[in-house]
Structure 1
Amino acid sequence: TIRIARESWQWYLTLGFTVFSTLLFFAMTFWQEGRIEQCRISDIKYHYILMHNGINPVGLDSIESWFHDPDKVRIIESEVRDYEERVQETARALDQKHRLEEKINELNSQTQNSKK
């Protein structure tokens, strides 16, 4: 086995590198958490603007001020989620309607062909 004496500079270098790496890891983790939150809030802002078919510069300033209040962010986020769910539900209903119309047209053409 290889042992490093405590008096050796290598031991202090290893200990310093370990402490530095640990601190860097935690600093990067906290920084990344903040970046993820910023991205989430930006995504909510984007969908909120789309929900209202765009806004003017004054409205953008208002939205920016709203997002400083965490309670307001939660309310806006729930509004955006509800809107997105309604849009998806409408899209599914329209898709189902178009498929039913295609089936009806197909059945009508089959009945007309069988009558001839």
Structure 2
Amino acid sequence: MQKLEKTIRIAKESWQVYLAMFISVFTLIFFGAATIWQESRIERARISDIKYHYILMHGGVNTEGLDSIQSWFRDPERVKQIEKEVKDYENRVQETARALDQKHRLEEKINELNSKTNNKNSRK
């Protein structure tokens, strides 16, 4: 009986393929983790923005109020409700500002027309 010994040899080119695959997988995992991390940072910033606007909407808060607001923002359903309240409030403020701006423009036009009418009457 003859004993056969097998020697496994890896071709020089194959380690480069494995290295490229490893680097590709590592890069994919890294960018996936970075994306998830960035998304959580964006969500925290969005919630902080909602808190800020909610506090402005109510004219500020004291320490107890701030603690209450912090606890409210732990509940996702409450966050959605507060976000809707803030958006509705900001939309009403913008509509009011537009209406006041339009009112001031109309008043200016009326004053301009009145001054033209007064100038014509004074010339006669």
Asked whether the two chains share a fold, i.e. TM above 0.5, the reply is: yes
Amino acid at match of 1:5: E
Q: Give the TM-score normalised by the residue count of structure 2.
A: 0.85
Q: CA deviation at 1:58?
A: 1.2
2:34 equivalent in structure 1: 28
Structure 2 CA distance for aligned equivalents of residues 57 and 15 of structure 1: 54
Match of 2:119 in 1: 113
Q: Which residue number in structure 2 is paired with residue 39 of structure 1? A: 45
Residue 5 of structure 1, CA deviation:
2.5
Question: 86-95 or 30-39: which moved more?
Answer: 30-39
Larger Rg: 2
1:96, 1:5 → 2: CA distance? Answer: 75
Q: Give the 5 Å matches for 1:59-98.
A: 59-98=65-104
Alignment pair present for 1:14 and 2:20: yes
1:52-83 deviation digits (Å, cap 9, x = unpaired):
01111111111000000011001101100110
Secondary structure, in 3 states, of the residue corresponding to 1:5?
Answer: helix
Unpaired runs of 5+ residues, structure 1, are none
The letter for the 1-side match of 2:21 is: L
Query: What is the count of residue pairs matched by the alignment?
Result: 111
Q: CA RMSD in A?
A: 1.1
After TM superposition, where is structure 1 displaced by more than 6 Å over at least 4 residues in a row?
none
Instruction: Give distance in 1, aligned partners of 2:85 and 2:17.
Output: 57
Amino acid at match of 1:69: D
- Give the corresponding residue for 2:106: 100
Find the counterpart in structure 1 of residue 7 from structure 2.
none
Q: Does 2:13 align with 1:5?
A: yes
